[in-house]
Amino acid sequence: MKVSAAIKALQDIHQKFGDIAITGGALSEDEPLSNIIVTDKGGVSVYPTDNRKDRSAEIEMDGVFLT
């Protein structure tokens, strides 16, 4: 992932969810950044796609996960 794409994704996340923490992920020379995901407390992705069954419920945020 290019820096510009990472910055855009993080700006989108900040706009939608506020100033939430980066809570996990791992990067290495052999595995560059390819995904930026936001998960709820149950570990379900809510960004870039919302995979919750009940989308009307308030989201209890966990944080941003980088892979």
pLDDT tens by residue, 18-67: 999 999 998 888 888 999 999 999 999 999 999 988 888 888 999 999 99
Q: What pLDDT does residue 37 have?
A: 97
Residue 6 has pLDDT above 90, yes or no: yes
The model's pTM is 0.87
Residue 14 has pLDDT above 90, yes or no: yes
Cβ partners under 8 Å of residue 17, min gap 6:
38, 47, 59, 61
Q: What pLDDT does residue 56 have?
A: 84
